[in-house]
A and B are shown apart, each in its own frame.
Chain A
Amino acid sequence: GIQVEQSPPDLILQEGANSTLRCNFSDSVNNLQWFHQNPWGQLINLFYIPSGTKQNGRLSATTVATERYSLLYISSSQTTDSGVYFCAVNGGATNKLIFGTGTLLAVQP
């Protein structure tokens, strides 16, 4: 099955700094999503981005499907950006999402 790797596993930033999170996947995919897991456990949708580039405020994402990776950019980070960021893909005819192991981001004031 498809393997999903995220890097870095942990990241500590000062408020105001920028960061880039990476997601590599081992095969072609139909769907790629980025999520932020809040402290209560809910997965918050950030981007649905099987290919191309999207922006939403201070966040943007780029997926290069032919090279099997996606990047999530966080600019001018805030303490509320802290938490775990997950990349998830599906590549078959099913709706099954395969998740990476996440990047734990801590933004310090």
Chain B
Amino acid sequence: GQQVMQIPQYQHVQEGEDFTTYCNSSTTLSNIQWYKQRPGGHPVFLIQLVKSGEVKKQKRLTFQFGEAKKNSSLHITATQTTDVGTYFCAPNTGTASKLTFGTGTRLQVTL
């Protein structure tokens, strides 16, 4: 079955530093979604990537889909305290009947 590894599990940065989380699948993906969950909150959809090599930006967030469509990354430039939370990837193989959420990367940002 599909295996999804998300790394790192946890990262603590100083405000202003950059942050990257990676999502790696053992199988080729049809698309991948990213979600953010603030502490005590619920997952909120950020973006969906579909095309090989696709890059999408949302302000300071850059999302990338690998050329082989087996991995993806989320990069945050100049983190702010509002970026605190857990970032989940949710890859889809196109054949599964359900999303499989990655284990998440918990980001802590301090001043």
Partners in one complex: no
Measuring CB to CB, which residues of chain B are less than 8 angstroms from any residue of chain A?
Answer: none
Measuring CB to CB, which residues of chain A are less than 8 angstroms from any residue of chain B?
Answer: none
